[in-house]
Chain A
Amino acid sequence: MLQYFVRRIVTLFFTLVIASLVIFVSLEIIPGDPASYMLGINAQEDTLQALRQELGLDKPKLERYLEWVKGMLIGDFGVSYTYRAPVIEMVSDRLWVSLPLAVYALILSTLISLPVGIYAAANRGKISDLSVMGVTQIGIAVPNFWFAMLLVYLFAIILRWFSAGGFSGWEAGLFLGLKSLTLPAISLALPQASILARVMRSSLIDTLNEDFIKTARAKGLTQNQALIKHGIRNALIPVLTIIGLQFSFLMAGAIIIENVFFLPGLGRLIFQSIAQRDIIVVESVIMLLVFSVVIVTFLVDVAYVIVDPRLRSSIL
């Protein structure tokens, strides 16, 4: 057991080191210079040099890499080249948009998909099931940015119920904030809800075939009663796993949607920073994302091992 943990922690450590190297090296070879981006086409060579020096870009690569890593270890993610603000502050500002958006989308997709999945499972094989499943197939196939464009066309340009983009900020009130996140959340939720509904349906059908449901029905419960009393709870485990996966996808995967709706979220921060060659921001944000995924995977693995004795014996 201990040996397992030690091995996992060592690999975790190496994964992070390799990830940091990969990120650093790829951003070193990316063509384009932050100083000349900032100073534009009339800048003189000595001015560029002065700015590079001010930003610390003239130091040797190895030194900059070590400084970056050292900073991260003590929670200092550097200062943005273009905005001159600490990266960690910028990230936490952006998280106030990205996090609520992801949660909003997730709630929407869960609220839509679970009833739909249950409904389809209860009516499996019937026309209603087939048509619901057909709709979810389409939902998976729709590119979310295209769906977003259609939503903007309908709700912002024709009906003018929502604004087509931008974020009012939370200080303008919870309602306005949620309102500006509504269309983006719907666009993000559609494919997720479709996937989730399918998972819910199939996992429910699997559960319905299990013995304890059969017992329950033998005791006189109707199929729907059995489904509600015993089936749903048991079918939720795979659904929760998928929801967990979708959450991390929604955090990093909203880039395009954030761009369509012009939301000041994490995705757009990265996108902008790449264009502006604000390398330190790109590096640190990607590293944070990688770190969170790696840590979550690690914790989940460890939790499984602790909970499930069968897994424990197989790895020891």
Chain B
Amino acid sequence: MFSFKFKNKKKNNLSLSFWVGLLFVFIVFLLALISFIWTPYDVTSLVISERFKGPSFSHVLGTDHFGRDILSMIMVGAQTSIAVALVAVGIGIFFGLPLGMIAAAKRGTFFDDLVMRFNDLIFAFPALIIAILITAILGPGAFNAIIAIGIFNIPVFARVARGAALTQWSKEYILAAKVSGKGTFLISIEHIIPNILNLLIVQATIQFSLGILAEAGLSYVGLGAQPPIPSLGRMLADSQTMISIAPHMAIFPGMVIVITVLGLNLIGDGLRDYFDPKLRGSS
């Protein structure tokens, strides 16, 4: 029932930048995965006498203000960032996709209007401020950061799903399916979703990369994962007062964020070009 092919009429190759992006993301994911079973050093043990060491053979990326190994902290921190952003995208799809699908299927009705106004409402709120409020209510932590980021993903997916689905509904093959007696729900599942999947995948990649940035921002202001769990944003916040004595503490975690987000964006752009060559070159 879920068999589908990516719509790709012309023979079209994935661009080089896509593969570069994939490589970046692969490296970061690999580091994060390895950290589940092994890190060069224990990230919870503090060796004060070893603090502020620059990069060396024993500490490839140096140590922080508690003498912890920065590479190890980045590995575990990347794991946190990825997990938060990924689950937040999941929340967006889980709630947003059905909302958008139903709105499209019942276009012009009160429900459709309600969904669109709900979208407007959420978009009208300043995202970061609301995220800060949410964590102020629920307390800081990775889980609440997920909620704060996830909420803003819902209208994004609802809007994309609705827009894409509306185009599909006006197509002839849907008419054919209707004539054959299929119900709205079945048509949505069997025909619409497979046909808008490309767009959803591209959007998911974009939201994923935005989620990584948002998680970094939230934990930078102290609202993400709590210590002793390392997080890239908090590493940056900690490094801020020490940037004049230990700039490596600020540079490496920031670079990992850039590489991850850059990689995801390149993947997203590459996929979009691949799915829809007409758009090639435009962003």
A and B touch in the complex (CB under 8 A): yes
Give the interface of A toward B (CB within 8 A): 11, 14-15, 18-19, 26-27, 29-32, 124, 134, 137-138, 140-143, 145-146, 149-150, 152-153, 157, 198-199, 201-203, 205-206, 252-253, 255-256, 259-260, 270-271, 274, 282, 286, 289-290, 293-294, 297
CB–CB A202/B281 < 8 A: yes
Chain B, range 118-174, C-beta contacts under 8 Å to A? 120-121, 123-129, 132-134, 136-137
Give the interface of B toward A (CB within 8 A): 17, 113, 117, 120-121, 123-129, 132-134, 136-137, 209, 213, 216-217, 220-221, 236, 239-240, 243-244, 247, 250-251, 254, 257-259, 261-262, 265-266, 281-283
Q: Chain A residues near B216 (CB, 8 Å)?
A: 143, 146
CB–CB B236/A253 < 8 A: no
Instruction: Give, as a whole number of angstroms, the nearest-CB distance from B278 to chain A.
Output: 10
CB–CB A15/B243 < 8 A: no
CB–CB B250/A29 < 8 A: no
- Looking at B126, B129, B132, B236, which has the most chain A CB atoms within 10 Å of its CB? B126
Residue of A with least CB distance to B125:
A290
Closest 8 CB pairs of A and B: A202-B282, A252-B126, A141-B261, A141-B262, A146-B254, A198-B283, A293-B124, A290-B124
Q: How far is the CA of A116 from the CA of B247 in the complex (A)?
A: 31
Q: List 17 A-B contacts (CB under 8 A).
A: A14-B117, A15-B124, A26-B133, A26-B134, A137-B266, A138-B262, A140-B265, A142-B258, A146-B236, A146-B258, A150-B254, A205-B281, A256-B220, A286-B126, A289-B126, A293-B123, A294-B124
CB–CB B136/A274 < 8 A: yes
Q: Chain A residues near B123 (CB, 8 Å)?
A: 293
Q: How far is the CA of A289 from the CA of B125 in the complex (A)?
A: 7
CB–CB A202/B137 < 8 A: no
Which of B113, B128, B257 interacts with A146 by CB under 8 Å?
A: B257
Q: Chain A residues near B132 (CB, 8 Å)?
A: 255, 270-271, 274
Which of B137, B261, B281 interacts with A26 by CB under 8 Å?
A: B137
Residue of B with least CB distance to A124:
B281
Residue of A with least CB distance to B253:
A146
Q: Given A143-B216, A143-B261, A145-B220, list of 9 further CB < 8 A pairs? A: A19-B121, A27-B133, A29-B137, A30-B137, A141-B209, A141-B258, A141-B265, A202-B281, A289-B129
Q: Chain A residues near B243 (CB, 8 Å)?
A: 149, 152-153, 157
Q: How far is the CA of A268 from the CA of B3 in the complex (A)?
A: 51
CB–CB A256/B209 < 8 A: no
Which of A30, A201, A259 interacts with B136 by CB under 8 Å?
A: A30
- Looking at A15, A145, A289, which has the most chain B CB atoms within 10 Å of its CB? A145
CB–CB B125/A31 < 8 A: no
CB–CB A149/B236 < 8 A: yes
Instruction: Give, as a whole number of angstroms, the nearest-CB distance from A62 to chain B.
Output: 20
Residue of B with least CB distance to A14:
B117
